[in-house]
Amino acid sequence: MSFSRLALLFAVSTYLLVQTGYAQEQPVTADSAGNDQQSEIASDRPEPDSPVIEPVDTTSYPRLDYNAEPRLYIIGELKATGLTTMDPKAVVVTTGLLSGDSIFIPGDRLTAASKKLWDQRHFSDVRVVTNFREDTVDINFILKQRVRVSRWQFSGIKSSEIKDINEKLKLRRNSEYSEYNMANALRQIRNYYDNKAFRHATIDYMVDPDTLVPNNVNVTLVIDRKDKVKIKKFTFEGNENISDKRLASSFKKTNKTSINFLKSFKYKEENFEEDRQNLLSYYRSQGYRDAELLEDSLYDVNAKRIGIWMKVKEGRKYYFRDISWIGNSEFPTMSLNNMVQIRKGDTYDSETLGLHLGNIQEGPNDPSIKNLYSNRGYLAIDVYPAETVVGDSVDVQIRIIEGQKFTVRNVIIEGNTRTNDHVIRREIRIRPGDLYNRDLLLRTYQRLATMQQFDPATSFPTVVPNMQQNLVDIKYSLTEVPNDQLELSGGWGAGMFIASVGVNFTNVSLRNFLKKGGWRPYPAGDNQTLGVKIQSNGSYYRAASISFTEPWLGGKKPNSLSVSLYTSRETNAYYLGQKATKHFGTIGGSVGIGKLLNWPDPYFNMYMGLQWQTYNLKDWDYFIVKNGASNVFALTFSFGRNSVDDPYQYSTSGSDLSLSVAATPPYSLFDGLDYAGALTNNERYRWVEYHKWKLNAKWFFPLTDNRKLVLMARAQFGYLGYYNKNKLSPFEGFQMGGDGLNGYSMYGVETVGLRGYKNSELTPYADYGTYASIFSKYTFELRYPIVQQAGTMVYALTFLEAGSANLRLEDFKPFSLKRSAGVGLRLYLPVLGMIGVDWGYGFDQVNSSRGKASGANFHFTMGTQF
């Protein structure tokens, strides 16, 4: 018989054995999907590159006919092989199969068991081998464990960056190692460094077997940040009507290198994506409504600089033609036209139109059509423009869907544990039953911030409308912050050390003083302020003061009552145990009523008060009056407007304007004394007379979209006038220079700080004890917050400051100024209030500088300066 016939006979015999079932004594393999296959055929699951585990080597088995009728078997032996670090018995349990169970083969249970193993993600390969013994089947799961990472390590970067990357990638021990996971990790690390402008950073990794744990590896991420990449230049193509410089200026976050250190010129992809839209918005604001950005790319200028190339298509320039309105019943068309401020023939500007309509919102107080309607109850107002192009012109039909007016149903307050509900509700300007009014919500926000009892970030309410009933709930979820202040400090002033002890309670409730259980630790809840302070350095100086403020006198209207009493005494006993032979004593008090006004708008306020002071002097050489008593009785009045969003911690917008005058009676007009004649100073100044005017104006301008970088501009002016030129007031003058603090309470003279100069060194002294009668001061301050948390604020600042002080009105030159510049830091803590340190450089000479610039000076401040 030939070899070919023998081979044919062997093949036929094998086929018959399989068909008659005798071959069932041989093991076969099946994949997890229930399809039989040769065991040497690779699984269709992606297999990670493993430096530790070799592929499972299984022999070839005959194929099982899965098209055959399923047959019921009893499960005999169950086992899992190929494992290195896992318990085979525990793995078998997870399949859901038990020895002794009945199972159909072929069938779904074996497929489900294999799928459960895959779903655990512990294995990169799952194979099932069955061995049949009559009515019994033995099942062997041949597994290949995935490689695990024992340790993630970093090389070439700082610990702070390691922490950031770990948090971003959530790298954990015993996590799965695969090429996919590594590629994803490298991509995220690349994005992390790209956003920090390290665009040329090299990122690689090394994999080493873990010698202690089988099937595990240690991964080391090797990072070289290289130099930061900054933007050198912008290049534009296709811009025929707008210059490269003007287009580059439209990039608010992606800026090229310049002398303006306030701008960031690092390249960040998310910033660039936003600035792409800013570029198109700028084009639309210039009339090019069809402008397109066709392409953009980055290119290297050198190792540390990149350039940005952009190709634009400007299209034609458009102009507004006809503006019409539809759907407006609440406001006449003329009023709406006046607010939009667009006239026929104006350059097409969709950005400005969006601002006027309210579809683009830059600031909470920006006037717009939507805000106008929302102040009349139209919470669901919708305003949108429909544009029709006619040649190079655009007709705009502004369609208004007014909807229904919404009425306030509930005003809900929660989160207040110390402050009484009625104290909060009296500050809320919108109440149940009122029409919804957005302006009143903003006004309430400012009033709650002025209370200083709550975190301003939580003081703006959540508005919950009921669209079916046209009702709205306003919910305040407040966070109370500790605001009482304790002062235990020492300071240096006038060449001496002054110790201060003071407390300032900001949420007092006098009506609970005698209430049982009201002292926890003091009667609180009504937002009344009580302050007590004592200062002393021993024999030379001592002072005490007490003040009280009730913000709602009577509890029905926002009329405040302020009362204060104070006393101080200075002597010539400079040393401990020295007996005083000279002294300057002060005793005084004040009482005043403040009122919030609703006209011309709700931000105006007024204050009227009476002030009394008596100065007792004995051989005191620092005023014209050296002996006797001088009395001051003055009426004070102030009128102002304050729309600052947070006047105590970090103001970002609004203004604070005030004009005040304090005036005594004109005694010299009716007391019958000849002040041109020979009077002693004691007779001349027994009753002091003057009129004192002060102007204070502050503006806050947010310079960034997140309202963090803020410019504060301030102007101050003061003038001490007289009724009789022969009776000039020896008290209440001005001294200028330094931090504005004396280190101790000094009455009879007002200190005006000007950083960069020493305390009081800008004060002109013509005669011993005579102070300036007029001053002006101007400040520009750029602020940026470092820490903004509930009750805590830290911000850095840089400033330009200038001012002057003169003895007489005729000497006053408002722009002949002493100039300075510097940097500073402010820290606000509820217990201590505002604490500041400044470094300032005075550019101009003063008497004490001997022909040179005043130079550098450090200044410390405490308390918010108004």
For residue 600, say if its preceding peptide bond is cis, omega within 30 degrees of 0: yes
Residue 556 lies in a domain: yes
Same domain for 199 and 253: no
Residues 752 and 775 in one domain: yes
Whole-angstrom distance, CA of residue 460 vs CA of residue 585: 48
pLDDT score of 630: 92
**Does residue 218 sit within a domain?**
yes
* In-domain check, residue 94: yes
Are residues 726 and 826 located together in one domain of the fold?
yes
Q: What is the mean pLDDT of residues 551-569?
A: 91
Q: What is the mean pLDDT of residues 799-828?
A: 91
Q: Mind listing the pLDDT tens digit for each residue in 536-549?
A: 877 788 889 999 99
Q: Are residues 416 and 274 in the same domain?
A: no
pLDDT at 646 over 90: no
Q: Is residue 735 part of a domain?
A: yes
Measure the CA–CA gap between 13 and 487, rounded to whole angstroms.
Answer: 105
**How far is the C-alpha of 346 from the C-alpha of 42, rounded, in Å?**
72
Please state the domain count of the chain: 6
* Residue 371 to residue 364: CA distance in whole angstroms: 9
Q: What is the distance between the alpha carbons of residues 746 and 603, in angstroms, rounded to a whole number? A: 33
- d(Cα 7, Cα 282) in Å, to the nearest integer? 84
Across 196-209, average pLDDT: 84
| Among the ranges given (59-73, 395-409, 537-551), the one the predictor scored with the smallest mean pLDDT | 59-73
Give the CATH number for residue 552. 2.40.160.50
Query: CB neighbours of 598 closer than 8 A, spacing ≥ 6?
Result: 604
Tally of CA atoms within 13 A in the half-sphere of 47 that contains its CB: 14
List the Cα angle 76/78/80 in 5-degree steps: 160
Lowest-confidence pick of 217-226, 457-466, 843-852: 843-852
Q: What is the mean pLDDT of residues 474-486?
A: 86
Q: Using a cut of 0.75, tell me whether the model's pTM lies above it.
A: no
Asked whether residue 630 is assigned to any structural domain, the reply reads yes
What's the pLDDT band for 24 if we cut at 50, 70, 90? very low
Tokens of 528: 């009344």
Instruction: Print burial letters for 342-381: b (CB count within 10 Å at least 16), e (below 16).
Output: beeeeebbbebbbbbbbbeeeeeeeebbbbbbbeebbbbb
* Burial bucket for residue 96 (CB in 10 Å: 0-12, 13-18, 19+): exposed
Q: What is the mean pLDDT of residues 764-783?
A: 83
How far is 761 from 188, CA to CA, in rounded Å? 58
Task: Clarify whether residues 369 and 471 are in a common domain.
Answer: no
Return the structure tokens found at 555.
């509890």
**Residue 5 covered by a domain:** no
Same domain membership, residue 808 and residue 842: yes
Per-residue tokens: 385: 């423009």
Which residues, at least 6 apart from 499, have a Cβ–Cβ distance to it below 8 Å? Answer: 489, 490, 535, 536, 537
For residue 109 the two structure tokens come to 């249970």
Parallel, antiparallel, or unpaired for β 471-477 and 462-466? antiparallel
pLDDT-wise least confident of 10-14, 22-26, 254-258, 326-330? 22-26
Does residue 265 carry a pLDDT above 60?
Answer: no
**Do 219 and 265 reside in the same domain of the chain?**
no
User: Does 774 score more than 90 pLDDT?
Assistant: yes
- The predicted pLDDT at position 261 comes to 42
Torsion 81-86-89-90 (CA) sign:
negative
Final residue belonging to a domain, choices 145, 174, 194: 145
**Bridge pairing between strands 136-145 and 148-155:** unpaired
Please report, rounded to a whole number, the percentage of residues in the chain having pLDDT higher than 70. Answer: 85
3-state helix, strand, coil in the chain (%, to 5): 15, 40, 40
| Residue 12 in domain | no
Predicted confidence band of residue 134 (pLDDT cuts 50, 70, 90): confident
Among the ranges given (182-186, 771-775, 847-851, 855-859), the one the predictor scored with the smallest mean pLDDT: 847-851
The whole-number average pLDDT for the span 321-335 is 93
**pLDDT recorded at residue 803:** 95
> Do residue 843 and residue 725 come from a single domain?
yes
Return the percentage of the chain with pLDDT > 90, whole number: 35
Q: What is the pLDDT of residues 333-350, one digit of tens each?
A: 999 999 888 889 999 998
DSSP 687: B
**Final residue belonging to a domain, choices 224, 254, 282:** 224
Question: Do 397 and 412 share a domain, yes or no?
Answer: no
Query: What is the domain-level CATH number for residue 412?
Result: 3.10.20.310
Residues 580 and 727 reside in one and the same domain:
yes
Q: For residue range 153-170, what is the model confidence (pLDDT) as tens digits? A: 888 888 888 888 888 887
State mean pLDDT over 267-282: 81
Q: What is the mean pLDDT of the chain?
A: 82
Torsion angle, CA of 755/757/760/763, rounded to 10 degrees?
A: -110
Residue 521: which domain range? 485-862
The number of angstroms, rounded, from the C-alpha of 632 to the middle of its chain's C-alpha atoms is 47
Q: Average pLDDT in the 830-859 region?
A: 80
| Burial track 106-145 (b if 16+ CB lie within 10 A, e otherwise) | beebbbebbeebeeeebbbbbbbbbbbeeeebbbbbbbbb
Name the band, by pLDDT with cuts 50, 70 and 90, for residue 688.
very high
pLDDT grade, residue 94 (50/70/90)?
Answer: confident
Residues paired with 803 in a beta bridge: 777, 818
- Which range has highest mean pLDDT (143-152, 265-274, 715-724)? 715-724
More confident call, 657 vs 829: 657
Comparing 13-22, 177-186, 379-388, 695-704, which segment has the lowest mean pLDDT?
13-22
Q: What is the pLDDT of residue 266?
A: 60
| Average pLDDT for 291-320 | 88
In a domain, 4, yes or no: no
Model confidence at 495, pLDDT cuts 50, 70, 90, reads: low
Q: Which residue has the higher pLDDT, 848 or 401?
A: 401
298: helix, strand or coil: strand
Residue 80: what pLDDT?
A: 87
Residue 290 or residue 111, greater confidence: 290
Give pLDDT, residue 300: 80
pLDDT score of 62 more than 50 = no
Token pair, residue 515, equals 């209430």
Spacing of C-alpha 531 from chain mean position: 31
Given 266, 284, 313, the domain boundary residue is 313
Greater pLDDT, 516 or 137: 137
**Residues 35 and 141 reside in one and the same domain:** yes
675-686 confidence digits (pLDDT tens): 988 888 888 899
Question: Which residue type is seen at 285?
Answer: S
- For residue 236, give the H/E element and its range: strand 230-237
| 396 and 413 co-located in one domain | no
| φ, ψ at 657 (rounded to 5°) | -120, 135
For residues 580 and 587, what is the distance between their CA atoms, to the nearest angstrom?
19
- Beta strand 71-81 pairing with 136-145: parallel
